[in-house]
Structure 1
Amino acid sequence: MRPVLRAVHERAEHARTTQGRLRAVNLTTFIPPLALVGALLVAIDAETWGEALLLTPGVVTGLLVVERWTAGDTARFVLPCLIVTAAVWVLGVLVTDSRTASYGITIVGPYFISQLPRHRGAAALGLCAFIAAVGAARLLEAPGDVLGVLGQFVLLPTGVTAVAILLMFANQRFYRVIEQSREREAELAVYRERIRFASDLHDIQGHTLHVVKLKITLAEKLLHSDIGRVEEELREVRALVGDTITRTKELAYAQRRLNLSAELENAKNLFEAAGIRVRVNREADPDEKVNALFGQVLRETTTNILRHAQATRVRITLSGAGISIVNDGAGTAPLPRLGGLATLRERVGDSGGELTVEQRDGRFVTAAEFPSLRSTTPPFAAREDRR
């Protein structure tokens, strides 16, 4: 169904927009501080230009992986970057006595592990062991400084890597929850669209079938007394069925929009055909924003009155911000559940209005009102149409 496909497309567009915003947030959140910390570490630790040139690739590759991570495109980069940062760590320990050469691998390594399909725990232990082993190899160059080597080359970089791995796993879990939430939201949107489509289809065809039933019943009564009226009723039935087919097609292509004036005229004709007196009070023309909703309320209420009430009188009141339909013949017994009105209550509520349904003293009141429109619609002299 095209309405459902449209809802899916809109959700997909929304997801792409959200992903773009998340990437911008991640870029501004991670890249500047990581770049600043990396530059400070190189400036502090490097004593010569050669040492600076050795440490810089580790910082640059780490930033490259973070940038590609925000774009969701790291498959081609992460393994080469891991090799580069591992080489920088080895050379920094064994050649330049650099305590900060592990900076790049503490960024790239945890991310690489988080992308593995399995055995990530073993890979995390292996990475920490590699960093610790390379750091401990510094004892070959400085065997007398055991505590200094253990603290600065083994425990510190290994601990930072372990913390980074835990943070990466937590971050990955967070984004998985967000993705699941998006999927559930998309499924819910499709479900709501299906319910809306089914409700609209019920409004069109259920209303038409009930009217057809009334007109055929009337034609049967007049068959032997007024053949001209019978022919007229049958022509109206045919026109009504044709109109229903057209509106069903419009609904399938998401083009349907109810017109309140047409629904009002249709309701008056139906009530008259059923022998019900109807009075219409126009206090103001309804706002265009709610015209279609008021048409839906009037159509559903008309169908309910014809089906469930023994009404003799109906009063319809229109204002710029509301519509109310009052009928007698409601009786005292509780009415059956009116599913159409329950669906309309949700639609009106989603649009900022309120739909109330009340039964008292043999009367049934259905009213929809939008408080925010009360002050925006200019009043005029009320018009009354009696039938």
Structure 2
Amino acid sequence: MTHDWPAAHTMLDHNAATRGGLRRLNLAMLLPPLAAVGALLVAVEARTWWDAAVLTLSAAAGLLAVERWTAGDLARVALPCLVVTAAAWPYGVLVAGSDSAAYGIMIVGPLVIPQLPRHRRAATLALIGFVAAVGAARPLVSGDDAGALVGYLLVPTGVVVMATGLNVANQRFYQLIQQSREREAELAVMRERVRFAGDLHDIQGHTLHVVKLKVALADRLMDDDPAGARRELREVRALLGETIAQTRELAHAQRRLNLSAELENAKNLFEAAGIRVRVDREAEADPRAGELLGQVLRETTTNILRHSRAERVRITLAERGITIVNDGAPDGPTPELRGLAALGDRVAGDGGRLRVEQRDGRFETAAELPRPRSGVVRPATRKDDR
């Protein structure tokens, strides 16, 4: 879903998301040895072309499941991979006489079960029972002695039990990490609120103290120096008007900001929440655009901490623009973003546009400001006189 303030425009195409570091590590550690073991088992155990085809297909299904699991997309291929590997196991036991046919189901089953939303215990028992029952049938159909049960029953069943237990524990571990990150994000938002309260105190606390002193002075001058008293009251009036304007700007995220300070603050907030941050500077930001871009960065930072489960954030700075992209965006419609909508009006008032797009688990916020015309100095911000 895409929102483009102030007007709709053509949606920009995105390249596929770059594989994360953790996924690359898992692929490098798991796929090569699993592929090598699968190829070796096929070469050693296959006696016919049918055997080779079935064992290869089962091993390939296992490798596909691992690859999709590292991408967080196992659900899409879980059922076909389970069907293929589950069918290969009885074939190996009853036809090919190969206990290596359990290789695929030993990979796929333990990966799928922790991903189930419910009935994991029943699914685990069903998987273990299936592997054990098929393996136990080998002596019955082949006349092999009880020693065959080691390769056809004990080894596959034991591997499935251990692998499933490890994957369930691994899933729980990552859930705990995610919960910890969510708590950190909540604390980061609370710190941002405290900072806002501090800004409000800075604006109003000093003003109220000065007003108190000037009103007391005007009261003392009322009888002896009426002109001086009126002068003090005029200053009080002007001071209150300025404070009201500053408070309005603060409430609408329009207070003068420093882009470099906002960038450093955003990095600190993200890192405190366990989110990796990458900053790309395509060009130094125009100082006249820096304040408005800083406001966009501040509002987007708060939205990411509140509404996403981001693991990575990429901030790209240009001379007259900023782009913030984060992963972990929830499925469904874009949440209500009143702060960005208000900023969109301000960006439009400066002749630019603010674009927000949610797509494929990513959320992108991009602000673009036009170059000022030659000889015309545009103000960095525009006061809201409403």
TM-score by length of 2: 0.58
Q: Which amino acid aligns with 2:230?
A: E
Q: One-letter code of the match for 2:234?
A: R
Q: Distance in 1 between matches of 2:87 and 2:257?
A: 70
**What is residue 312 of structure 2 aligned with on the other side?**
none
The match for 1:78 is 78
Residues 166-181 of structure 1 mapped to structure 2, 5 A cutoff? 166-181=165-180
CA distance in 1, matches of 2:86, 2:249: 64
Per-residue deviation, residues 92-118 of structure 1 (Å, max 9, x unmatched): 111111121111111111222222333
Letter in 1 for 2:112: F
> Hey, what does 1:140 align to over in structure 2?
140
Paired position in structure 2 for 1:371: none
**Residues 19/222 of structure 1: CA separation in 2 closer, same or farther (3 Å cut):** farther
> Does 2:190 match 1:215?
no
SS of 1:101's partner is helix
Q: Which runs of 5+ in 2 are unaligned?
A: 1-16, 259-386
For residue 22 of structure 1, report the CA deviation from its aligned partner.
2.9
Query: In structure 2, what is the Cα distance between the partners aligned to 1:19 and 1:228?
Result: 73
Q: What SS class does the counterpart of residue 118 from structure 1 fall into?
A: coil
Of residues 156-165 and 29-38 in structure 1, the stretch that sits farther from structure 2 once superposed is 29-38
Please list the CA deviations of residues 215-272 of structure 1 after superposition, one character each: whole Å capped at 9, or x if unmatched. Answer: 111111111111222222122212211221222233234443589xxxxxxxxxxxxx
Distance 2:133 2:181 in 1: 43
**Aligned counterpart, 1:205:** 204
SS for the counterpart of 1:77 is helix
Change in CA separation of 1:31 and 1:245 when aligned onto 2, cut-off 3 Å? farther
Deviation at 1:90, TM superposition (A): 0.9
Partner amino acid, structure 1, of 2:248: K
1:57-107 residue CA offsets vs partner (Å, 9 max, x unmatched): 111111222222222222232122111110011111111111211111111
CA pair 227-20 structure 1, distance change in 2 beyond 3 A: farther
- 1:134-283 counterparts in 2 under 5 A? 134-147=134-147, 149-257=148-256
Q: What amino acid does structure 1 have at the position aligned with 2:249?
A: E
Distance, in Å, in 2 between the alignment partners of 1:18 and 1:79 is: 26
Separation in 1 of the partners of 2:238 and 2:25? Answer: 58
What residue number does 1:53 align with? 53
Q: In the alignment, residue 243 of structure 1 is paired with which amino acid?
A: E
Residue identity opposite 2:44 in structure 1: I
- For 1:82 and 1:144, how far apart are their aligned partners in 2? 28
- Bigger radius of gyration among the two: 1
Query: Partner amino acid for 1:206?
Result: G
Specify whether residues 27 and 243 from structure 1 end up closer, same or farther in structure 2 by C-alpha distance, changes over 3 A only: farther
User: d(CA) in 2 for partners of 1:65 and 1:256?
Assistant: 51
Superimposed CA distance per residue, residues 154-197 of structure 1 (whole angstroms, 9 cap, x where no aligned partner): 00000000011101111111110111112112111111111111
Question: Matches of 1:32 and 1:228 in 2, distance apart?
Answer: 89
Question: Counterparts of 2:58 and 2:22 in 1: how far apart (Å)?
Answer: 26
Aligned mates of 1:211, 1:66 — CA distance in 2 = 68
What SS does the corresponding residue of 2:137 show, helix, strand or coil?
Answer: helix
Residue type of the alignment partner of 2:199:
D
Counterpart in the other structure of 1:29: 29
Cα distance 1:18–1:167, how it changes in 2: closer, same or farther (>3 A)?
Answer: farther
Alignment partners' CA distance in 2, 1:97 and 1:90: 10
Q: 1:143–1:258: structure 2 CA closer, same or farther, 3 Å change rule?
A: closer
Q: 1:115 to 1:65 in 2, by over 3 A?
A: same
What is the one-letter code of the residue matched to 1:62? Answer: G
What is the rounded CA distance, in whole Å, between the counterparts of 2:19 and 2:208 in structure 1?
A: 47
- 1:75 alignment partner AA: A
Cα deviations by residue, 1:280-300 (Å, 9 ceiling, x for unpaired): xxxxxxxxxxxxxxxxxxxxx
Give the 5 Å matches for 1:294-313. Answer: none
Amino acid at match of 1:126: A
Aligned-partner Cα distance in 2 for 1:63–1:246: 63
2:105 counterpart of 1:99 = no
Specify whether residues 133 and 22 from structure 1 end up closer, same or farther in structure 2 by C-alpha distance, changes over 3 A only: same
State the TM-score, normalizing by the size of structure 1.
0.58
Aligned position for 1:90: 90
Instruction: Pick closer, same or farther for the CA change 1:258–1:47 going to 2, 3 Å.
Output: closer
Amino acid paired to 2:68: R
Q: What is residue 39 of structure 2 aligned with on the other side?
A: 39
Q: Can you give the 5+ residue segments of structure 1 that lack an aligned partner in the other structure? A: 1-16, 260-387
**How far, CA to CA, are the matches of 1:258 and 1:96 in structure 2?**
73
1:294 corresponds to: none
Identity %: 63
* Structure of higher RCO (CA pairs closer than 8 Å, 6+ residues apart): 2
> In the aligned structure 2, how far is the partner of 1:103 from the partner of 1:242?
77
User: SS of 1:100's equivalent?
Assistant: helix
- Return the alpha-carbon distance in structure 2 between the equivalents of residues 168 and 68 of structure 1: 15
Q: Does 1:112 align with 2:112?
A: yes
Shift of 1:21: 3.4
Aligned residues: CA RMSD: 2.2
CA distance in 1, matches of 2:152, 2:43: 18
* Whole-angstrom distance in 2 between the partners of 1:92 and 1:124: 22
User: For residues 215 and 258 of structure 1, what CA distance do their matches in structure 2 show?
Assistant: 30
Post-superposition offset of 1:27: 2.6
Counterpart Cα distance in 2 of 1:70 and 1:29: 11
